[in-house]
Structure formats: structure tokens, C-alpha cells
Structure 1
Amino acid sequence: MNLSAKTVVVIAIGAALYGIGGLPMFGIPVFANTTLKPAMAVLALFSVLYGPIVGFLVGFIGHWVTDLFAGWGVWLTWVLGSGIVGMIIGLFPIITKNRIESGLFDKKDFLIFVVLAFFGNVFGYGTSAFLDTILYAEPFTKVFMQLCIIAAGNTFLIAIVGYFILNNLAKRKKQSTNLTEAP
């Protein structure tokens, strides 16, 4: 994997925004060590704009940063989960053939975005929950509850914030693609 300097900078900025934005002071605590964080919209945005590799790395590194600064230690299982979420949402430009770059974002695109967000959260944090029960002997009911809350809450948050951001981004792209040179 050969990442350009621009891609590395994008990953660093995305991870920093996601990591700092994921701190408990910016989130809504909902369950044991479980916080709904608006930073999920940052992860979704970077994933949609730059694809699955950037999405994975922004999620993985960003969650690591959150755990480091939050003071509860780095939970690699949940760090991995955030990476998987970013990777799955990052499939959006591939599935939609990067229509957003052409200024197109319709209901079908939004549905694809929400479905990817949901499956990303279920699969990503489902992996985290599964690994927690195996590696850390966490009670299944606890991690399953965390998974349900996170999957539903994050999907809702990503859908609401993501709709406005992606819709406006598509409008902006559409305006810039209609530029013509004056005679």
C-alpha cells in the first residue's frame, strides 16, 4: 500500500478530529463506557470522501487517540471496530461510482449511505463486542447492549448529520462542475 503525502495528511487530520471529537466531554454517555459521539459524523465524512482505506485508518487511529486521552486505556477491540466502521462507510464512493463528485446525491444515495452506516456499526462494533467477550471475558449481555445502543445511535447520528453535509457537498460540487470559460 503506497499512500501519497496528501492521503497521509488527510488521515492525520481526520484521525485528530475524530479522536479529539470522540472524547467524553463531546459525547452523550448512554451506557457503561459507551458514549454517543458526534465525531462519528467526522469518520463518516472522511470515509465517504476518501474511501475505505482512509476510513479504516481515520477510525482506527482516531479511536486510539480518544482512548489515550480519555484515560480509560486503549481498548484495541473497539479501536478495531471504529476502523471497520470507517472502512465499510468508505465503500460509499465505490458503490455509488463517486456520484457525489459530480454533484449528485439523491434518495438512493442517501439510502446507501445509511445502510452502510448501519452495517458498518453492526459489523464493526459487533466484532468489538465479540472480541471483548473472548479476550476480556466481558459479560455478553453488557457488550450486546453496548452494540445495540451504539449501532442504533451512531446510525441515526450519521444519517442526520451526514445528510446535510453530503447534500450540501453535492450542491457545491454541482455548482463547480457547471463552470464554463467566458468567450
Structure 2
Amino acid sequence: MELAVHPLVQFGPAYIIYFSRGKCLMAKNKQSSSELFSVRTVVAIGIGTALIFILKRWVSIPTGFPNTNIDTSYGFLGFMSVLFGPVAGFIMGFLGHALNDFTQYGTPWWTWVVTTGLVGGVIGLFWKRLDVSKGDFGKKKLIGYNVVSGLTNLVAWAAIAPTLDVLVYSEPANKVYIQGLISAVSNVISGAVIGSILLAAYAASRTRSGSLKKED
């Protein structure tokens, strides 16, 4: 006779931890894995990549510091990463940034391209915890999203991107860390304001679970 197995903890989008016969086991979450690579997600990656490219190319606000803009695309990237998960978030961020650099400068600045992908991927890791598909985006999820988005952008742009610039391109540290700090502040703001507005609007457009009751 088989014992019923109840998930204890979901580890990211693809794995769950559970107890069975006194043992702690990890198993693949088949439903979540299929969601990561569904047709809907693939289509979203294409649309998201195009929109991130457009936002970076034509809807960025100059800061006055060379090659550093207030980038509206990071709010949209945070929104899409929460909706479609880490794989989609990474690919959209990576390809959108690469396309922008290629068309604007002739060649991608790979350290920042990779960092943008990482931002989307890390925020996307929390797509199940921040799930807004059922119309739930209350205060707790709003705060949770902003903490995740804020910390991710802060670490990515104030530390990871400039460090990679020094290591890969031998850029002067004082220059790239100032660039990184300015980008970190602007991207945290973009993620907080634009990302929160988009998530709240999306949640409001969905039917909240349990909100509909059968009429007598």
C-alpha cells in the first residue's frame, strides 16, 4: 500500500521537498517544470524580449553620466519574470539587452548583458511565492516583490556588473563602480515603481480566487 505524500517545501519552481516513510526526499515538480517551457512561456519570451529592447532603445532617460541611463525596462523585466519564472526572465533580459547594445553600439557589452539576464533570472525564482495569476497582489506580496527586486538590482549593478567590467574588460574601477552605483539606484527605482504598477494592474485584471460566489 502506498502512503500519501504531501509536499513540505517547494524549492524554486522545479522541485519540492517532502517526507515519505520517515525520509526527507526531493522530487521534480512536473507541473512547474512544464510551465517553465510551455508554449505560452515561449511566446512570452519573444514578446518580452522585443519590448525590453524597445524600452532600452527608446524609453531610457539619460543621467548625464556616460553610458548610464534611467532604464524603464527593469520594471518591465521584473514584472515578466514574476509572471513567467527564472528561465524566461533570464532569456528576456539577456536577449533584450544584447539586441539593444548590438543595434545601438555595434557590439554587446557582455558583462552588463549577462547581469541583466541574472536580474531577470533571480527575480523569476520567486514567481510561485509572488504568484499574481489569481488576482492576489496584496501588501505582503507588494513588499516581497520590492525587497526581491530591490536587493537583486542593487547587488547586480553596484557589485556584479562593475566587478565583471574590471575582470573582463580591464575597465578602471573608479569609473565602473560609479556607473554601477548610479545604475543600481535607477534600476531599483524602475523595478519598484514600474514593476509594482504592472503587477498590481495585472492582478486587478484577474479573478481573485474565492471572490466569485454562486448566486442563490
TM class, shorter-length: 0.7 to 0.9
2: CA distance between counterparts of 1:21 and 1:164?
Answer: 16
Which is strand-richer, 1 or 2? 2
Identify the match of residue 134 of structure 1 among 167, 178, 184: 167
Rate the CA distance shift 1:28–1:104 in 2: closer, same or farther, 3 A.
same
**Superposed displacement of residue 92, structure 1:** 2.9
2: CA distance between counterparts of 1:5 and 1:147?
Answer: 36
Per the alignment, residue 89 of structure 1 pairs with 123
**Superposed displacement of residue 167, structure 1:** 1.6
Per the alignment, residue 188 of structure 2 pairs with 155
Structure 1 vs Structure 2: percent identity of aligned residues?
A: 34
Moved more, 39-48 or 122-131: 122-131
- Does 2:134 align with 1:102? yes
Per the alignment, residue 123 of structure 1 pairs with 155
Deviation string 1:147-166 (CA, Å, 9 cap, x unpaired) is 11111111112211222221
Equivalences for residues 6-17 of structure 1 within 5 A: 6-17=40-51
**Superposed displacement of residue 20, structure 1:** 2.0
Q: Which has the higher contact order (CA 8 A, sep 6+)?
A: 1
Q: CA RMSD in A?
A: 2.1
2: CA distance between counterparts of 1:67 and 1:182?
Answer: 56
- Does 2:59 align with 1:57? no
**Superposed displacement of residue 180, structure 1:** 6.0
| Secondary structure of the corresponding residue to residue 20 of structure 1 | helix
Q: Show structure 2 runs of 5+ residues with no match.
A: 1-32
In the superposition, the TM-score normalised over structure 1's length comes to: 0.87
In the superposition, the TM-score normalised over structure 2's length comes to: 0.75
Which of the pair has more CA radius of gyration? 2
| Matched-pair contact (CA < 8 Å) for 1:59–1:85 | yes
Matched positions, count: 180
Rate the CA distance shift 1:95–1:181 in 2: closer, same or farther, 3 A.
closer
Deviation string 1:76-110 (CA, Å, 9 cap, x unpaired) is 100001001101221232333x2x22221122211
| Secondary structure of the corresponding residue to residue 101 of structure 1 | coil
| Secondary structure of the corresponding residue to residue 128 of structure 2 | helix
Which is helix-richer, 1 or 2? 1
Identify the match of residue 114 of structure 1 among 137, 146, 156: 146
- Does 2:202 align with 1:169? yes
2:81 aligned partner, one-letter code: S
Identify the match of residue 146 of structure 1 among 158, 169, 179: 179
2: CA distance between counterparts of 1:73 and 1:87?
Answer: 23
1: CA distance between counterparts of 2:40 and 2:200?
Answer: 25
| Matched-pair contact (CA < 8 Å) for 1:118–1:152 | no
Rate the CA distance shift 1:177–1:39 in 2: closer, same or farther, 3 A.
farther
Rate the CA distance shift 1:102–1:175 in 2: closer, same or farther, 3 A.
closer
1: CA distance between counterparts of 2:208 and 2:150?
Answer: 30
Rate the CA distance shift 1:11–1:177 in 2: closer, same or farther, 3 A.
farther
Per the alignment, residue 35 of structure 1 pairs with 69
